Amino acid sequence: MDDQRNAFSEQSGTSAPADSGERLSVINRFELSQDDWQQMLTQPGLFLLAEAALNEDVPGLAEQFSDPAANRLYWGQSGRIHASVSPYAIRVDQDNWHEMKAICEQPQWGIALQLNPLMNAHTPVDQLIALMNHLRSWSLVKAQPDDEELRLLRISDWQVIQNLLSACSPSETADFYGPVYRLIGLQKDQITCLEHTGTFTPYPAFQAPRQLTEAQFLAISAQPMADNLIRYTEHIRQHHPEVNQWPEPTLNDFVEQQVKQARLHDFSNERDLVRYLSLAVSFGADFTHQPWAQEVLNSSVPSGPDSRMDRLFNNPLQSLDKEEQA
């Protein structure tokens, strides 16, 4: 997963394809009141898919209700390395909603989803396994059949989900929903539900990466940079409280410039960009001129399973250890 390119972030103002009415015919879209949501909390199979990259409390909350490795969207060794920026699926109900509510009040926190009622015949463990296998299979996508570049689809982003579904045929929509019955955009002032009325697939085959159609790719690829920058800024505010003392224009300019620098060094997926920003805050905007950074940036030789950003992020500590031992 270390070579994934996250080209997909929140998009605003994008028009749906001309035939989107036909494409969305298997989706029942409606608004929920707060009372409706409270009633939904009494129903089984309800989950939050929450972004740890935007809220550092998410992994801890997820751990209270399940093994983190089981409900973390990023899996395997890469999932362990990037646990602090992975989305997590957390089962939610009336009993724990008071703990989860604060997560959902943050902009772009993630999405809620509800499993098909037929999944209630399965154990909670089997439900989680089916859900996570399905979500993970959609987290990695390809734009073209011969495309070697894997992209990390922001499946926890409400706007991205809507854009993708606007370009799906009924069969493609059923493929995307899998064991899920409802996708829910849970915002502070508005709750929108996209209910699937088509074919239900309880245990879809795991396929990663997923091959996007041209219409799907076009629907989610033209994302404005402004939304990304807002998300990155919120991340470093949480993980580096010292930046909250900076003037707002200074912080915004810093984030924008450092993201540009990161891309010049071929770092483009979201978790690499936020780690690059962390290094820039900790070691200065010109940290790339430091010997420990140059060692990684000027090297094209792979170093085991670690990505370039893994090595860049770990090199300062290794450099300090060498100095102490000298």
Condensed to tens digits (0 to 9), the pLDDT of residues 4-24 reads 333 343 333 333 333 444 455
Residue 13 falls within a domain, yes or no?
A: no
Give 210's strand partners: 141
Give 196's strand partners: 27
What share of the chain in percent tops pLDDT 90? 43
User: Which of 248, 246, 210 is closest to 229 using CA atoms?
Assistant: 248
Residue 14 falls within a domain, yes or no?
A: no
Q: Which two tokens mark 251?
A: 């912080």
Structural domain total, the chain: 2
Residue 8 falls within a domain, yes or no?
A: no
Q: Does 296 lie in the same domain as 176? A: no
Q: Supply the range of the domain harboring residue 248.
A: 225-325
Q: Does 33 lie in the same domain as 147? A: yes
Residue 163 falls within a domain, yes or no?
A: yes
Helix, strand, coil percentages (3-state) for the chain, rounded to 5, are 50, 15, 35
Q: Does 56 lie in the same domain as 79? A: yes
Kindly report, residue by residue over 266-314, the tens digit of the pLDDT: 888 888 899 999 999 999 999 999 999 998 888 765 555 568 888 898 8
User: Are 153 and 141 within 8 A, CB to CB?
Assistant: yes
Domain boundary among 168, 186, 221: 221
Q: Does 167 lie in the same domain as 140? A: yes
C-alpha span between 90 and 78 (Å, rounded):
20
324 has pLDDT over 70:
no
Q: Does 293 lie in the same domain as 266? A: yes
Residue 185 pLDDT class (50, 70, 90 cuts): very high
One-letter amino acid of 119: M
Q: Does 321 lie in the same domain as 260? A: yes
User: Are 17 and 167 within 8 A, CB to CB?
Assistant: yes
pLDDT of residue 84: 84
Q: Does 211 lie in the same domain as 238? A: no
Q: Which two tokens mark 44?
A: 């089984």
pTM: 0.65
User: Are 55 and 109 within 8 A, CB to CB?
Assistant: yes
Domain boundary among 175, 206, 221: 221
Residue 38 falls within a domain, yes or no?
A: yes
Q: Does 149 lie in the same domain as 173? A: yes
C-alpha span between 228 and 6 (Å, rounded):
11
User: Are 44 and 84 within 8 A, CB to CB?
Assistant: no
Q: Does 92 lie in the same domain as 29? A: yes
Q: What is the dihedral of CA 156, 160, 166, 172, to 10 degrees?
A: -50
Q: Does 191 lie in the same domain as 300? A: no
pLDDT of residue 75: 86
Q: Does 256 lie in the same domain as 143? A: no
DSSP state, residue 15: P
User: Are 89 and 68 within 8 A, CB to CB?
Assistant: no
Domain boundary among 221, 246, 277: 221
Q: Which two tokens mark 307?
A: 């990505």
Residue 295 falls within a domain, yes or no?
A: yes
Q: Does 281 lie in the same domain as 231? A: yes
Determine the average pLDDT of the residues in 28-37. 94
